[in-house]
Structure 1
């Protein structure tokens, strides 16, 4: 295991640091009536950070990595997606986007097209598509996702073919299984190190999380 990863794992899972961090997170959540994080096993956190269908944003080799579980039909996920630019601009902070289509069949269709965009055009094109799809109003399904891909100048036939590849459905299922193992029953949900937040976390709180993990 790389030295950087081992060092970070020790920082995030060490018993001496865990209690103060938990107290800090919980006290802020109590004051704000916000989401209270819970700690999950380090092995499960590592599993979540290494799923093959995650989409990297920012410095994903940095010392603080968010994993954002989202559904394209979730309004609070739309709000959370608006944080990406700010998080990506923070030195040493990265985000992995995890398509977690648990709300409807339409969400599953949209997520498959999204992974088709990733497979066909790569993470940079995906990021623009991701932002544009969250800007769409109404039900987001496969047809809406393809329309947004076309608006972004992507080859929709190629995207459709990529979305139908044999590995796409298992890749989505892999993320869903991982999220269920963590206990995420709602979107958005966020993982940072061994800390799991189920529900919306605003940008100021995410900034404080970064500061706490580096304190």
Structure 2
């Protein structure tokens, strides 16, 4: 589709490349090219979905950085924070957290949640998973993804609703974090300010982040065990 432009005397047709980040997680490459329709300047737009390529590049960048931290013996909290910030860097509307299952398999501990309020993290830290209707606990107990479109109306958030509203959290998506042996290590969660459901791109993102977190947790724990031995 071409539409006339205001004429610019002596100016050659312009060409411009721009990235558009959509709310559903897709990344669109917009190419704008100037041309002439007869003697009238015009502009031609073309669009290309580069979500998969962009996510792949971001994922590889995050993975390399996490591996560098592991190789230098960085502490687990710093490594997990890197995983979280890597996801948030390309998705400004997301607030992410990693909760770790304690050694007894009874409680969830905050591993990294740098963008969530301190009062929220303090209230969540150490809560038991058994007998809880909390969405994080359910992700661990059912070993499955938990999607809460609207925290204000979800029964899974009865215990923490007032806390979540105080923290201005509208929706919650969480995947279990698995170890290499299939054991659950914790959860990777994504919050939004407003109620919303994940797109296919979002689902791929949370799965990839949970896998990277699982690798980081197990390798960091193994390294710490070696140093202690």
Asked if TM exceeds 0.5, the reply is no
Higher helix share: 1
Structure with bigger gyration radius: 2
Between 1 and 2, higher relative CO (CA 8 Å, sep ≥ 6) is seen in: 1
Higher strand share: 2
TM-score (norm 1): 0.30
